[in-house]
Amino acid sequence: MKKRVVVGMSGGVDSSVAAILLKQQGYEVIGLFMRNWDTSVNGDYLGNPDLNQDICPQERDYNDALAVCKKLGIELHRIDFVKEYWDFVFTYFLEELKKGRTPNPDIMCNKYIKFDLFLKEAKRLGADFVATGHYAKMEDGFLKRAKDVNKDQTYFLSQLSHEQLENILFPLGDLEKGEVREIAKEYQLVTAGKKDSTGICFIGERNFRNFLKNYLPNQSGDIVDIETSQVIGQHIGLMYYTIGQRRGLDIGGYDHRMFVVGKNLEKNILYVALGEDNPYLYSDSCIVGDINFNCDLRPSKCSAKFRYRSQDVPVELEYLEDGKIKVSYQGVKSVTPGQACVFYLDDICLGGGIIDVVCKGGEKLWYLL
């Protein structure tokens, strides 16, 4: 009897090639497409100037997934998690924004939807294994970085438990992105040249500000130069800015670029400072909560990522009595409350947590929430 694998088919090139590779390896492959966002209720794509297309992206993705599955001769099932996505991911996203933080909803989508509800549905379909198109590896019981370091997605898998990672296959772990596209071209798949999805999963390619104002009211306020305490402009709402951001600041008359360094939610102030290496952008420790480890390793020294595209930095971990972790490091720029801090031991992704407090010299930075 062939082992049955249920593959999360997203309508993109990565999941398409994951299905191909699993068929080549002799598995019985079944596709499962998730619908997580109801465009008819949560924002109509039709006629949207941000998109300029006559079908919503999610339906287009489903049609592409269906075409791939027909081409490969595999079944495709479809499941709706619209309510659950709203309850566990989108609500979290909005609540974090209200607090002035910078959330990462994709991490929560993996934790609560793709590797929880999806797994349960896959088991209902008789799956021995579940596979996705993520760039990651499972080796010797450890979650490890993918071969393609530029596409590695272990950062987004950092909130998964050891149990959630059992019987998971990541077929793309040893491939470069270019190799994946070449395989898709060889099979003449409709997804071979399809652009990678960007931005937040449920927003897609839409304008972030136009989308968000449907759910959270704009509240403009002062932009303050933190070094002079002078009001130098107006922001359009604290939720639209993150630490280290330089674009979207309505400020003139400066020879050098200004960067967001902090927020005051109570007074609705956005703090900025001059220059990309301004000291106000740097910290040397943070407190991380919502800790999740996917293995038994608990090092006192390792490396960490504070954003998906950031470089690893050496850190020291102090395990606190309240279950949180104090993470110490040498001056790192733009560590941001609400973002994930993910721990690594060489190529092993140990897990991570959510940044609660950012500090310098043992004191909480007063200009960060």
Out of 69, 109, 286, 302, the active site residue is 109
- Say what angle helices 177-186 and 13-24 make with each other, to 10 degrees: 70
Which is nearest to 358 in space by CA: 263, 293, 275?
263
Q: Work out the number of other CB atoms within 10 angstroms of the CB of residue 228.
A: 10
Q: Which residues contact 213 (CB under 8 A, 6 or more apart)?
A: none
Count H helices and E strands in the chain, helices first.
9, 18
Q: Which residues contact 109 (CB under 8 A, 6 or more apart)?
A: 36, 85, 89, 201
| DSSP per residue, 45-103 | -TT-TTT--SS-HHHHHHHHHHHHHHHHT-EEEEEE-HHHHIIIIIHHHHHHHHTT---
HSE (CB half, 13 Å, CA atoms) of 247?
0
CB-CB contact of 309 with 319 (8 Å): no
Q: Which residues contact 19 (CB under 8 A, 6 or more apart)?
A: 7, 9, 29, 31, 68, 69, 72, 74, 131
End-to-end Cα distance, the chain: 56
Catalytic annotation present for 109:
yes
Catalytic annotation present for 201:
yes
Token reading at 322: 């309240």
Out of 201, 302, 341, 359, the active site residue is 201
Residues marked active site are found at 109, 201
